[in-house]
A and B are shown apart, each in its own frame.
Chain A
Amino acid sequence: GEDVEQSLFLSVREGDSSVINCTYTDSSSTYLYWYKQEPGAGLQLLTYIFSNMDMKQDQRLTVLLNKKDKHLSLRIADTQTGDSAIYFCAESRGRRGADGLTFGKGTHLIIQP
Chain B
Amino acid sequence: DSGVTQTPKHLITATGQRVTLRCSPRSGDLSVYWYQQSLDQGLQFLIQYYNGEERAKGNILERFSAQQFPDLHSELNLSSLELGDSALYFCASSQFEGNEPQHFGDGTRLSIL
- Assess whether A77 is interfacial by the CB under 8 Å rule: no
With both beta carbons as reference points, the residue of chain A lying nearest to B56 in the complex is identified as: A98
CB–CB A44/B104 < 8 A = yes
CB–CB B45/A45 < 8 A = no
CB–CB A96/B99 < 8 A = yes
Complex Cα distance A103/B2, Å?
Answer: 19
With A100-B56, A103-B42, A103-B43 already in contact, the answer to whether A42 and B105 are too (CB < 8 A) is yes
How far is the CB of A45 from the nearest CB of chain B, in Å? Answer: 6
Among the 9-residue stretches A11-19, A28-36, A55-63, A67-75, the one with 4 or more Cβ atoms under 8 Å from chain B is A28-36
- Assess whether B48 is interfacial by the CB under 8 Å rule: yes
- Assess whether B55 is interfacial by the CB under 8 Å rule: yes
Per-residue B-contact encoding for A81-113, CB less than 8 Å = 1, 0 else: 000000010101011111111111110000000
B48 contacts which of A90, A98, A102 (Cβ < 8 Å)? Answer: A98
Q: Which residues of A contact B102 (CB under 8 A)?
A: 33, 45, 101
CB–CB A45/B104 < 8 A = yes
How far is the CB of A92 from the nearest CB of chain B, in Å? Answer: 5
Complex Cα distance A97/B101, Å?
Answer: 10
Q: Which residues of A contact B90 (CB under 8 A)?
A: 42-43
Q: Show 15 A/B contacts (Cβ-Cβ < 8 Å), sorted by A.
A: A30-B99, A42-B90, A44-B104, A45-B2, A45-B103, A48-B101, A92-B98, A94-B98, A95-B98, A97-B99, A98-B97, A98-B98, A102-B45, A105-B42, A106-B42
